[in-house]
Amino acid sequence: MKADIAIALNYDEQSAPRVTAKGKGLVAEQILSLAAENDIPIKEEPELIELLATVELGDQIPEALYVAVAEVIAFAYSLKDKTLGQ
């Protein structure tokens, strides 16, 4: 999978999601490769990725992005539920 930018988020259900990895080019490809190897869902949302790229590594996402990121988290949970149901 080829990517210009990749962002990884961690959501512990206790606080807002945090940016745990981000990168461009080769680093983005490595992030996506690690996600795939670990069965972590990948969602392509170019506009959201562009906004998340401005968040510092380790910081929580800004409140303005809560709804958009919640949709991504819901997507990930839906994939997890489908996988567990098989």
pLDDT tens readout for residues 7-58:
999 999 899 999 999 999 999 999 999 999 998 889 899 999 999 999 999 9
CATH of the domain at 46: 3.40.1690.10
As given in the structure block, the two tokens for residue 42 are 């990948």
- What range defines the domain where residue 47 resides? 5-84
What is the pTM for the complete model shown?
A: 0.81
19 neighbors 55 (Cβ within 8 angstroms): yes
**pLDDT value, residue 20:** 96
Strand 5-10 relative to strand 18-24, pairing: antiparallel
H helical segments located in 1-86? 26-37, 46-52, 66-84
* Across 57-85, average pLDDT: 86
> What's the confidence (pLDDT) of residue 66?
95
pLDDT band at 1 (very low <50, low <70, confident <90, very high): low
Work out how many domains the chain is built from and give that number: 1
Query: In whole angstroms, how far apart are CA 1 and each of 16, 25, 33, 73, 78?
Result: 28, 11, 8, 21, 22
